[in-house]
Amino acid sequence: MDPSPNSHPILSYVLSRLPSIKTGSLRLSSPHDLEQPPPPSPSPRAPSGPAEFELVERMPGLRHPSVLRFLTRAVADITCARDALRHLGPRPDHELVDSARAFLLSHSHGNLVGLDIEEKVVESLEVVRLDEEHEAYGVLLREAEEKLELVYRMAMHGRDVAEGGGERREDEGSGDVDEEVVRLLKQAQEGRVVEQVRLADRQLLHLPEPLGRIRGLLVLDVSRNQLQAVPDAIGGLQHLEELRLASNVLVSLPDSIGLLSNLKVLDVSSNKLRSLPDSISRCGSLVELDASCNVLAYLPTGIGYELVNLQKLWVHLNKLRSLPSSICEMRSLRLLDVHFNELRGLPSSFGKLVALESLNLSSNFSDMRDLPASFGDLVGLRELDLSNNQIHALPDCFGRLDRL
């Protein structure tokens, strides 16, 4: 399951230094627990084994904690997929997969009869789909290794390391943030325009409350920190158009987020959110909402009634068992990604999403069994992924989707 240090040396090195996501720390109480671990604290400890020694000799920057932190952020999707696959089980052997494929082929030709055939079909489908998931994971590993090569070069050219190869101070960012906020507040009080505050990658443990007093703020980015909560004062940023809170350890959002009536982009991906506040429905200007890679069990009941301008919704890699019927009122929705959840079906009026162009329903496995009759009304659909589900037949109206 873990990448080989021979074929994926950088990825293996980075993952081996994240103690909070090793096998022993995974929660195994739920068969589909995709809960994200807290942001790991990578350790630049001495390399172990000849492969790591050779790698560190070739890439000495791996000894710097700041470089290692930078690389860690680049593999969030890998850890997410790896944890999910661990719950699904090891990859079936080649002979078993070939046997399952042959059985399914014979069944499709009508060559098999018997009372236990359907049960065998389900078992064979599970084997083939598990093999496909592992194959996709392998592709992800190869892409991640290439990405880490690029990220390393960026870091060593000064993006995350001081010029000359020195490390950033461990307290840099968190120690200077308050001073930076004071400076920004002073600018705002002097009548100068402060439209953007970008405090990503600063090791923040909390969001300074005074930020809520910068009334003209349009963009706030505090991604990739260690925030455990967002203060109610966030509701004071009534002109805010873009709020990025991705890759923190948030377990909830304040109700005051509903006061952000001008908010157009909200990114809360890769946190530990179990739910979204009902008040989020009042953010009527939202165009993009990314709540992927959390542990959401449901979406607010009325989320679709007021988010009529929403065009893109990402809620993949959660624990959603259903979508609220109000989601069918999102008439502007063009992209919906709900893969790797526990969906058992779609609302009967799902076909009302006539603007939808891209839909990913893959990897809901044994929970997703059929599509509503209204599915054929999604005439604008250009991209559709139904893989790794238990859908055995498509509705008759499926033929109307002539843009796929």
pLDDT per position as a tens digit, 96-128: 888 888 888 887 767 666 657 777 888 888 888
201 plus 345 within the same structural domain: yes
What CATH number corresponds to the domain at position 284?
3.80.10.10
| Domain boundaries, position 86 | 9-159
343 plus 384 within the same structural domain: yes
Asked if 280 and 302 touch (Cβ cutoff 8 Å), the reply is: no
Instruction: For residue range 232-277, list pLDDT tens digits in order.
Output: 999 999 999 999 999 999 999 999 999 999 999 999 999 999 999 9
Alpha-carbon distance 74 to 282, whole Å?
A: 33
Is residue 4, in this structure, part of any structural domain at all? Answer: no
N-terminal to C-terminal alpha carbon distance within the chain: 34
Asked if 309 and 332 touch (Cβ cutoff 8 Å), the reply is: yes
Is residue 229, in this structure, part of any structural domain at all? Answer: yes
Alpha-carbon distance 50 to 27, whole Å?
A: 32
Tally of domains in the chain: 2
Residue 371 CB coordination number (10 Å): 22
276 plus 383 within the same structural domain: yes
Which of 117, 138, 159 corresponds to the end of one domain?
A: 159
146 plus 231 within the same structural domain: no
Instruction: For residue range 320-357, list pLDDT tens digits in order.
Output: 999 999 999 999 999 999 999 989 889 999 999 999 99
Q: Look at the alpha carbons of 202, 205, 207, 210 in this order and tell me if their dihedral is positive or negative.
A: negative
Instruction: For residue range 130-174, list pLDDT tens digits in order.
Output: 888 888 777 777 777 777 777 677 666 544 443 333 444 444 444
Is residue 167, in this structure, part of any structural domain at all? Answer: no
Confidence grade of residue 48 (pLDDT, cut at 50, 70, 90): low
Is the pLDDT at 182 greater than 50? The verdict is: yes
pLDDT value for 364? 83
Is residue 178, in this structure, part of any structural domain at all? Answer: no
Asked if 71 and 63 touch (Cβ cutoff 8 Å), the reply is: no
pLDDT value for 174? 47
Cβ within 8 Å of residue 201, ≥6 positions away = 69, 70, 73, 160, 173, 223, 224, 225
CA dist 206 to 69, 245, 356, 379, 381, Å? 19, 12, 38, 46, 42
Q: 């950033």: which residue's tokens?
A: 168
